[in-house]
Chains A and B, each alone.
Chain A
């Protein structure tokens, strides 16, 4: 188990290092960062001065190592646009994103797992077909459009929840639904497929044969084994949700890290952009690493691999 964890940890670290390099390179892909700071109309001297002050005249690798070293201590520099420390801004905004992400994942799991179990318990019946239809339709609805439609129905016409902001807890309801429904089809399909496979296994027949009730077999024996791949998928989806929070937070005007990402991107605020891309990547890497460990704990066969 220790060896397995170390191997996964090494892989995660290597991925993190590569991702950090890519986020760093983003700054230089756009051309001259000194010009974008000084402004298009700046004179040659001003640009040169900015270049020297920010250290853009040094070799790329030196700049990368310095950026990485600072990033490790939580220093992502100062925002070009907001003129505030990037890490402080992100720390202020992350709780909203994490709350919506967590709630969205909870919503998706609560909806998708029972639906998948029921669909597998009654294959090719009306229940199965309904679950499949929900999944296929759900996959085809763009989340930004879904969000707007929910605002029109529940905020504008029915006046039940606020259309934007999180001054009261009700402001979290629509964002949770929009973010959660996005992960639902995939989790539902995987739960269904896993349950179908497990239900045809010998030990399920044995459990039924020795007289155990349907419900006990279904949830205690079958679901426990079918859920293992779902853990990995949920971790991946949670990572995607954080990265995709930019869309939901922009629609509902939630002041989270996703909205900050949109603000910084549309204003060419490179330090903030870089830091956010790196941090969202790190969330993904940590989630998938934890899922790997959890899977190895749930399924001892994996540790040997």
Chain B
């Protein structure tokens, strides 16, 4: 690659691998890059939380309650102020990123396994198998997700494990629907017929031929459902039936700040903006991946 190629058309034609092509498209996609940067920053903050947080997120300081953040005339000691129990708001925000990302990732992963299995089986076999899959999707969609999640958390207690499990068991419908139609398309391809003729076993065909070809759709839905899980966890925690105090969850922080809504509205603005920025970034990332991997581009 030492020679300089003058014409841009020639340079594009000289692209060597699909991966490089993908990277090139990704680099040019502003939404994808913005989403990618923000999500990786939040992920890094979550990973390095103990190093980054100025205080222990659980440590109460009743003498320093409700200190205002710097931009509202507070002191630099607590950059984002302190909450009603005198806990450093910035530290809680940083540790809250861990809760949100962990719930989003694990819940979406559980959903992905359930939904992909159902969708791929339904799309591949069609007929009765497909009817059963569609029936299960209808049942799942008919159940009000928020209410069922609230009820299960109320009955089993609001540990992180319960919240993640119930969200994982509830959010698989879109995986099933989208992967079913993606699999139906792949099913028509010649290479599937070829694999069948060659005598490849069913698991091998599904694993080696179908799955890699529906992976794009899987990743796109994965990002969307991650955002969905994060938003639901925040809503559950806000209603008091999600992650329990004193765990620093952004939804819980908004719920705790609600009491002081009239006087100190920054208590809900700060975690709310954090939640909004993360969700926006994940959605941009998902939309970006869809655009980049789609052969025909936008629309």
Cα A214 to Cα B48 with chains together (Å): 57
Q: Does chain A have a CB within 8 A of B164?
A: no
Q: Is the CB of B139 within 8 A of A250?
A: no
Q: Is the CB of B272 within 8 A of A149?
A: yes
Complex interface bits, B130-158 against A, C-beta within 8 A gives 1, otherwise 0? 00000100110111111110111011100
Q: Which residue of A30, A142, A156, A240 is within 8 Å of B155 (Cβ)?
A: A30
Contacts of A142 in B (CB 8 A): 231, 234-235, 251, 272, 275-276, 279
Cα A239 to Cα B144 with chains together (Å): 8
Q: Does chain B have a CB within 8 A of A183?
A: no
Cα A246 to Cα B151 with chains together (Å): 12
Complex interface bits, A240-265 against B, C-beta within 8 A gives 1, otherwise 0? 10111011001000000000011001
Q: Does chain B have a CB within 8 A of A60?
A: no
Q: Does chain A have a CB within 8 A of B262?
A: yes
Q: Is the CB of B239 within 8 A of A250?
A: yes
Q: Is the CB of A19 within 8 A of B142?
A: yes
Complex interface bits, A129-153 against B, C-beta within 8 A gives 1, otherwise 0? 0000000110111111100110110
Q: Is the CB of B235 within 8 A of A247?
A: yes
Cα A29 to Cα B162 with chains together (Å): 13
Contacts of B227 in A (CB 8 A): 139-140
Q: Is the CB of B156 within 8 A of A261?
A: no
Q: Is the CB of B239 within 8 A of A284?
A: no
Q: Which residue of A18, A29, A277, A288 is within 8 Å of B147 (Cβ)?
A: A277
Which stretch from B3-11, B55-63, B280-288 is at the chain A interface?
Answer: B280-288
Q: Is the CB of A281 within 8 A of B142?
A: yes
**Segment 9-47 of B: residues with Cβ below 8 Å from A:** none
Q: Is the CB of B283 within 8 A of A268?
A: no
Contacts of A18 in B (CB 8 A): 135, 139
Known: A246-B147, A247-B235, A265-B241. A156 touches B261 (CB 8 A): yes
Q: Is the CB of B268 within 8 A of A137?
A: no
Q: Is the CB of B138 within 8 A of A11?
A: yes
Complex interface bits, B281-299 against A, C-beta within 8 A gives 1, otherwise 0? 0011001000000000001
Cα A244 to Cα B238 with chains together (Å): 14
Q: Is the CB of A140 within 8 A of B144?
A: no
* A interface residues, how many (CB within 8 angstroms): 49
Q: Is the CB of A30 within 8 A of B144?
A: no
Q: Is the CB of B147 within 8 A of A144?
A: no
Q: Is the CB of A265 within 8 A of B141?
A: no
Q: Which residue of A15, A144, A196 is within 8 Å of B235 (Cβ)?
A: A144
Q: Does chain B have a CB within 8 A of A236?
A: yes
Contacts of A280 in B (CB 8 A): 144, 147
**Segment 232-265 of B: residues with Cβ below 8 Å from A:** 234-235, 238-241, 251, 254, 258, 261-262, 265
Cα A136 to Cα B231 with chains together (Å): 15
Q: Is the CB of A19 within 8 A of B147?
A: no
Q: Which residue of A16, A26, A136, A246 is within 8 Å of B284 (Cβ)?
A: A136
Q: Chain B: which residue is nearest A143 at the CB level?
A: B235
Q: Is the CB of A277 within 8 A of B144?
A: yes
Cα A16 to Cα B141 with chains together (Å): 11
Contacts of A145 in B (CB 8 A): 234, 254, 268, 272, 275-276
Q: Which residue of B148, B152, B261, B280 is within 8 Å of A148 (Cβ)?
A: B261
Which range holds the interface residue count of chain B?
35 or more
Complex interface bits, B58-74 against A, C-beta within 8 A gives 1, otherwise 0? 00000000000000000
Contacts of B254 in A (CB 8 A): 144-145, 148
Q: Chain A: which residue is nearest B232 at the CB level?
A: A142
Question: Smallest Cβ distance from A29 to chain B, in angstroms?
Answer: 6
Q: Is the CB of A277 within 8 A of B151?
A: yes
Contacts of A34 in B (CB 8 A): none
Known: A136-B283, A140-B283, A142-B275. A265 touches B147 (CB 8 A): yes
Q: Chain A: which residue is nearest B269 at the CB level?
A: A149
Q: Does chain B have a CB within 8 A of A273?
A: yes
Q: Chain A: which residue is nearest B298 at the CB level?
A: A124
Question: Smallest Cβ distance from A23 to chain B, in angstroms?
Answer: 8
Q: Does chain B have a CB within 8 A of A84?
A: no
Q: Which residue of A149, A266, A276 is within 8 Å of B154 (Cβ)?
A: A266
Contacts of B276 in A (CB 8 A): 140-142, 145
Q: Interface centre among B145, B151, B251, B276, by most A CB within 10 Å?
A: B151
Q: Is the CB of B261 within 8 A of A152?
A: yes
Cα A265 to Cα B268 with chains together (Å): 25
Contacts of A239 in B (CB 8 A): 141-142
Question: Smallest Cβ distance from B214 to chain A, in angstroms?
Answer: 21
Cα A285 to Cα B138 with chains together (Å): 9
Residues of A at under 8 Å CB distance from B? Answer: 11, 14-16, 18-19, 22, 26, 29-30, 123, 136-137, 139-145, 148-149, 151-152, 156, 193, 196, 236, 239-240, 242-244, 246-247, 250, 261-262, 265-266, 268, 273, 276-277, 280-281, 284-285, 288
A-B residue pairs, 10 tightest by C-beta: A243-B144, A30-B155, A140-B280, A140-B279, A145-B272, A280-B144, A281-B142, A15-B138, A284-B142, A265-B154
Please give 19 more A-B residue pairs, beta carbons under 8 A apart, in addition to A11-B135, A156-B262, A281-B142.
Answer: A16-B142, A26-B151, A29-B152, A141-B276, A142-B235, A142-B272, A152-B268, A156-B261, A239-B142, A242-B144, A246-B147, A246-B239, A268-B154, A268-B155, A273-B147, A273-B151, A277-B144, A280-B147, A288-B138
